Structure formats: structure tokens, C-alpha cells
Amino acid sequence: MPPRLPQELAEMIIDELGDTYQRPTLAACSLTCRAWLHRSRVHIHSAVRLDPNSHLDRLSELYSGPLADYVRSLSIDASRLKKIHRLALEALVWEQLEEQTVRIFLTNYDDVRDVWLAACDFYNPAAFVRLLQSFGKADSIRMEGMGCDPVDFEEALEENGPVLHLQALDVGELCNAPSIVARWAYHGRKEVVIESIHFSWNHEDPVHLSRLLQLAGPSVKSLSITMDDHVQRVRTTPGELQGAVDLSQNTGLRTLRVLLRLETSNYIEVSWIGDVLSQLSSQLLAHILIFIELPSYELLDKLRWDLIDSALADTRIPALKKVECCILRRYMLHQGLDPNAINRVRNALPKLAALGILEVSQEYT
């Protein structure tokens, strides 16, 4: 029986095979003994390459389990796939892609109309901006769970074109810097046309969202804004946020959805919601939805319902046919929904109730 090869020497040989990517030999090493299996897999599965000849179903099944932990490099050869109309990128770290893959994403998808980005990380927001700039014919750009480090990207914004036309721009939950998308959408533009806009805003100053809405003006038909009370926590003067989100130029609005997400049971100044609603001047606005997500029913008595009531019952909105107000209660064990909450809200909005256009409901989030 031949002498056993020392483990340290075996690993050195396997590493050498990995450096020269001798896949068949590495595969043989992985089958030789259990002690060599892990080291061999590190090299065999460290780089995954996709091209038009790849068996995607087989690869998806192969890397749906523990082998996925070995993948360190993803290379995509899509040079022959130039007629793609919908592109979805999910769970990738942009800076870890190979240069060739990045180049393909930035140059090969001129015909893409629908872009979906989910759970992607960009260490440099300039790279994210340049990716968005590469979809010059896109009609719809949607995203959620995007992460960008807070570093300067002004130089990338200077490469914006003068015109942006979109049917939909959706910046959903867990995007840690929605202002990057807002600034990309308006910076350096002479014309911005976006029919449907949704932004989930967090702790950032909403000034960039306001600038985008002002420039998009009457082109916006449907607007949805989710905003939590972190925006108010960084301000110390009551009413300081008045006019921060300016809707006065959105005269083409037909539907408006506002989700106010209250994160704390402490008193927070949120009267700005009435100030924002009082700017509405669209003659076409027919439907408004207001969602109030709260941790405690005590906050119902601290909201400035009178400002909301006065703003929405104003005759400046002649087409308004329905105002829906929904209380979103976070589920807590042994704490059910308050049966009196709906009447409390209705009583706090007497002008809307008198017009017969108010609907109040509540549900768990």
C-alpha cells in the first residue's frame, strides 16, 4: 500500500490545480478521500460562468444547497442576448462581479424596458447611478432592498441625459438611500415625465424627493409615499418640515397613497402631513388612501386630524370621490384590535364624514 500523502502537501497540490483551474483533476481529487473534498470544492465551485449554452435549471439546482457557499465569482457571457426586454437582478454584490460581466450589463441591454432590482449591494453609489443610466429605453424601473455606501457620486450624475420618460418608478422597502434614485431621476434634466411614482422614504431629508416631484409636475398620475417618523426625529422645531415634500406642481394627480409609519410610542411632530395634503391642487384627483401604521392606539389622539380634514375637504379638489383611512396595527400577543378605533378616526374627520366620501378601516400589518 503506497504511503499516504501528507494533508498539508495535498492541499498545496490542490491549490496549484485550482490556480491553473484544472477542473477534471480537481474533481478526481474531491473523490479520492474525504479529507480532500472541501479543499477541492473551494476551487471547483469558486467561479461560476453563465453563457447561452448553460443548463440554467441544472445550475440552479446544483447551487440551491451548501455548494452556494463556495461561489466567489460569477461571470455572465450574454454577448449574444441583445434583445432582452426585461432584466431582473437579485441578491448580487456589484463590486464582486467580474469586469466582463459589469461591461455586459452596462452596454448590452439597450432594449430593456422593464428593470427589477432586489437585494443588491453597491459599495459605490456612482456604479449604481451608471447602471440606471445604461437603461435609456426603460419604461419601468422598480427596486427593493438596495444598499449603497454613503460616498460622493456627483461626478456620475453629470452623465445624466436631459430627458427621463418612465411609466413607473418604484423605490420600495429597505432601500437605505432612496435619495440616490431621486437625484438620478431629476439631476441635470430638462424634462422629467413619470406617470407612476412610489418611494419608501426612511431617515433621509425628503428634499430630493420634493425636487423630483416638482420637476415631474403634472406628468405624475399616481403617487405613493411611505414615510416613517425618523424623518421628524432629526428635526427639533415643530412644523420645520412644512413644504418639504412639495405636491403643488403635481396637478395631474389622480390617485394619492400615503403611508405614515410611526415607529415609537413617544410623541412625534407629524403635523406636516396636513401641510403636504393642503398643497394638493389637482382637478383630477379622485382617490386618496391614508395608512397610519402605529405601535399604540394612544398615538391616534396625538395626530393632527383637523389639518388632514381641512385639507381634504377643501373645494380645491372637486373630483375627489373617496378618502380611505386605514389604521395598521402591529400584531402583539394578547393585544387585539380596538373596536372603537374606527369611530375615533371618523369623529376626528367630521368634514370628510359629512361629505360622504370617507371610509375608515383597521387591520394588522
User: What does the pLDDT read at residue 200?
Assistant: 94
Please tell me whether residues 53 and 70 are part of one structural domain: yes
User: What does the pLDDT read at residue 328?
Assistant: 93
Cell numbers describing residue 212: 423630483
User: What does the pLDDT read at residue 239?
Assistant: 46
User: What does the pLDDT read at residue 2?
Assistant: 45
Please tell me whether residues 66 and 21 are part of one structural domain: no
User: What does the pLDDT read at residue 185?
Assistant: 98
Please tell me whether residues 56 and 133 are part of one structural domain: no
Please tell me whether residues 176 and 255 are part of one structural domain: yes
Which structural domain range is residue 22 located in? 1-44
Number of domain units in the chain: 3
- CATH number for the domain harbouring residue 194: 3.80.10
Measured between alpha carbons, how far is 351 from 85 in angstroms, rounded to an integer? 48
Please tell me whether residues 147 and 289 are part of one structural domain: yes
User: What does the pLDDT read at residue 193?
Assistant: 98
User: What does the pLDDT read at residue 334?
Assistant: 63
User: What does the pLDDT read at residue 10?
Assistant: 81
User: What does the pLDDT read at residue 266?
Assistant: 61
Q: DSSP class of residue 148?
A: E
Mark out the alpha helices in the chain (DSSP H runs).
7-19, 23-32, 34-44, 56-62, 99-107, 125-133, 154-157, 178-186, 207-216, 230-233, 272-277, 305-312, 341-348, 350-355
Please tell me whether residues 102 and 159 are part of one structural domain: yes
User: What does the pLDDT read at residue 27?
Assistant: 83
Measured between alpha carbons, how far is 10 from 218 in angstroms, rounded to an integer? 69
Please tell me whether residues 66 and 96 are part of one structural domain: no
The CA-based angle 68-71-72, given to 5 degrees, is 145
Please tell me whether residues 250 and 179 are part of one structural domain: yes
Mean pLDDT, the chain cut into blocks of 10 residues (365 residues total): 67 83 83 85 81 76 84 70 82 88 87 93 95 96 92 95 98 92 97 97 86 96 88 49 74 95 67 81 95 87 88 90 93 77 95 96 91
User: What does the pLDDT read at residue 20?
Assistant: 79
pTM of the model: 0.81
